[in-house]
């Protein structure tokens, strides 16, 4: 299914998209390089805490710990939004097998098209 077909069918309500939450979190973590960003920020927070700015250091350590968790928690919504808007992102998400597309019931028919995208 192409990006244009996917976007059109989703907006028309003729398909249902099930996103794998764990895979989406891993995908977003890798795409945003969260570990690479988080480690230096944790180091900065530790350095501040050890050099006398205790509360500033703890605040930075807390932020460096919480922000990646929040990003991973909201990853399915972000993946869906970006997949609808950006063709390249959609292709990357399909390649990573982040979601499964199923045809919805229409006019009393049962879903017949179940495609792992």
In this predicted model, what pLDDT tens digit does every residue of 62-73 receive, in sequence order? 999 999 999 999
Alpha helices per DSSP H over 1-117: 3-12, 21-31, 34-50, 54-73, 75-85, 87-95
Percent over 90 (pLDDT), the chain: 84
How high is the pLDDT of residue 115?
Answer: 53
How high is the pLDDT of residue 90?
Answer: 95
Closest CA to 101 of 88, 113, 89, 92: 113
d(CA 102, CA 91): 18
Categorize the per-residue pLDDT at 116 as very low, low, confident or very high, splitting at 50, 70 and 90: low
How high is the pLDDT of residue 20?
Answer: 94
Categorize the per-residue pLDDT at 104 as very low, low, confident or very high, splitting at 50, 70 and 90: confident
How high is the pLDDT of residue 105?
Answer: 74
How high is the pLDDT of residue 107?
Answer: 53
């Amino acid at each position: 299914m192409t990006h244009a077909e996917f976007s059109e069918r989703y907006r028309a309500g003729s398909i249902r998209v099930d996103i794998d939450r764990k895979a989406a979190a891993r995908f977003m973590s890798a795409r945003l390089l969260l570990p690479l960003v988080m480690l230096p920020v944790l180091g900065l927070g530790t350095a501040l805490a050890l050099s006398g700015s205790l509360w500033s250091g703890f605040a930075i350590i807390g932020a460096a710990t919480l922000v990646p968790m929040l990003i991973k928690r909201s990853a399915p919504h972000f993946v869906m939004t970006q997949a609808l808007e950006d063709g390249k992102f959609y292709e990357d998400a399909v390649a990573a097998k982040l979601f499964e597309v199923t045809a919805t019931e229409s006019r009393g028919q049962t879903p017949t098209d179940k495609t792992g995208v």
